[in-house]
Structure 1
Amino acid sequence: MSFPAVLQSEWTKIRTVASTVWTLASALVVTVGMSALLCMFLNSTFEDMPKEQQVTFDPTMASFAGMTLGQAAVIVFGVLVVGTEYSTGMIRTSLAAVPRRGSFLIGKLTAATALALVVGLLTSFVSFFVGQALLGEHSIALGEPNVLRAVVGAGLYMAVLALFSMGMTMILRSSMLALGVLLPFFFLVSPILSSVEATQKVADYFPNVAGGAIMQTVQTALDGKEPPYGPWGGFAIMVAWAVAAVVGGFLVLKNRDA
């Protein structure tokens, strides 16, 4: 089967499985909705914030506050794209149709990541414009320094997160197992380690923490310490995590029976 045919096949799988479509749609709704609520709250309470927080306030990042919950839907999307084939046994049929496992994997990852990128960019731009409208006089324009990079970066973040989730699911070969690893990692382990001074330096290099730097326009922390990397440096760390997961997934796919 030619590579364009593989891409078409994978696109058909994604759009015909309702759960994958709805998870991406929920990522958009949750991210925009939660961000809008927080921006309304920040606008009404800005004068009550400590002066240090007012000085370092990042209106762009405030527009992406809902990303914390929205990324859960992106993770689920990535897991389902790969895991559904294993849970239904469809993986055997897929590999019979595309014996070259590298082509099969690249086609699946390309189709799903491209879709996640489109939805991610739509989500980031809508979140930004809605959030800035609600921030009132504390808002920032898209043309201000680093703002466009942050908005585009938020969309890139969602795409790479989906890619990382797919790679991990390919390694684990199970939707339930992948969700049992990824969701606690992003929503429990990472926040806990980030909040403890002794482990904060380790957490700084986790994919969500490092990748989140690309969405920031204010890089200096409240304690005055400079972050260990810039926006693109942090994003590169996240990409490295995703590449490692994909390579691991390919090795498992190549060396184990379906």
Structure 2
Amino acid sequence: MASFPAVLQSEWTKVRSVRSTIWTLALTFVVTLGLGALLSLLTNNNFKDFAGDRATPFDATGTAFSGIMLGELAIIVFGVLAVGNEYSTGMIRVSLAAVPQRTTLLAGKAVVLGALALAVSLVTAFVTFFVGQSLLGDHSTTIGSPNVLRAVFGAALYLTLLCLFSAGVTAMLHNQTLALGVLVPFFFLLSPILSAVPKVKTLAHYFPDYAGSRMLLVYEQSNQPYGPWQGLLICLAWTLAALAGGAAILRKRDA
């Protein structure tokens, strides 16, 4: 029986030995920061056009995080590849032979992936915020302003939960191509489309991406179904359900 620390060490070795997983983490940082910085600069230079309705406060924090959608894509790919690579190469059989306790194996993966995703997401969130505010000039905000620090941490938690959700879905499907074929259209096509359809948008408001994005809100709006903390709980529930589903299928299904 493999000890849990040994499982963690093994999973850490697997992740850092695969270049594609490291590159997707780096890409999460680069695209979130790069696009956020670009849009912050454009907003500052064309503030009257970008600020919109002045009846609502200008969200300088949200502007800095304008590139987080591309960051979402990169962190989703990271979660999928970190789990799916073992299935595509057949190495999952070796892993299961070394760690017959399948739930322990998946738990080890989740801890390592979650820790890596959280570390990168925290660096991404704080660097993106401060760079964005520096480019917004007189229209910037500070980390000490009401709800801003919570929104920055919320961005990091959101990316981390998306990574773990994607890992859980991949564990259920046992195929990284199929997982990407499900997750990418779901998050970037189905969810946005359903959110715009009046009769079904209430359902879409409880999808993990919409719920998680509430964590980035600095100013709560009356037309939003719930606030940041409720969004965190909903996104966390989706993540735990995906990991639990992955564990259940891993226990019953052969590699």
Q: TM-score by structure 1 length?
A: 0.96
What secondary structure sits across from 1:228 in the alignment?
A: coil
Unmatched runs of 5 consecutive residues or more in structure 2: none
Contact preservation (8 Å) 1:46, 1:54: no
Identity of aligned residues (%): 56
Matched position secondary structure for 2:220: coil
Q: Number of residues paired by the alignment? A: 254
The CA deviation at 1:48 is 3.0
1:76 alignment counterpart: 77
- 1:37 is matched with which residue? 38
Residue aligning to 2:115? 114
Residue 244 of structure 2 corresponds to: 247
The answer to whether the aligner puts 1:256 opposite 2:247 as a matched pair is: no
Matches within 5 A, 1:164-203: 164-203=165-204
- Over 3 Å counting, the alpha-carbon distance change for 1:34 and 1:111 in structure 2 is same
- Larger deviation: 47-56 or 88-97? 47-56
- For 2:248 and 2:109, the matched residues in 1 are separated by 15
Equivalent residue letter for 2:231: G
Q: What is the RMSD computed on CA atoms of the aligned residues? A: 1.2
The gaps in structure 1 that reach 5 residues or longer are none
Give yes or no for the alignment of 1:238 onto 2:235. Answer: yes
CA distance in 2, matches of 1:253, 1:97: 15
Preserved CA contact (<8 Å) 2:211 2:232: yes
Q: 8 Å contact 1:84–1:175 — kept in the other structure? A: yes
* Cα contact 1:83–1:174 (8 A) shared by 2: yes
Task: Please give the alpha-carbon distance, in whole angstroms, between the structure 2 residues aligned to 1:114 and 1:50.
Answer: 36
Query: Counterpart of 2:241 in structure 1: which amino acid?
Result: A
The change in CA–CA distance for 1:74 and 1:200 in structure 2 (over 3 A counts) is same
- 1:162-219 deviations in whole A, cap 9, x for unaligned? 0000000001110000000000011111111112222221111110111101111011
How far the C-alpha of 1:55 sits from its partner, in A, is 2.7
Cα distance between partner residues in 1 of 2:56 and 2:42 = 18
CA contact 1:167–1:249 (8 Å) conserved in 2: yes
Paired position in structure 1 for 2:100: 99
TM-score normalised by L of structure 2: 0.97
Runs of 4+ more than 6 Å apart: none
Contact 2:43 2:51 in 1 (8 A): no
User: In 2, distance between residues paired with 1:60 and 1:51?
Assistant: 15
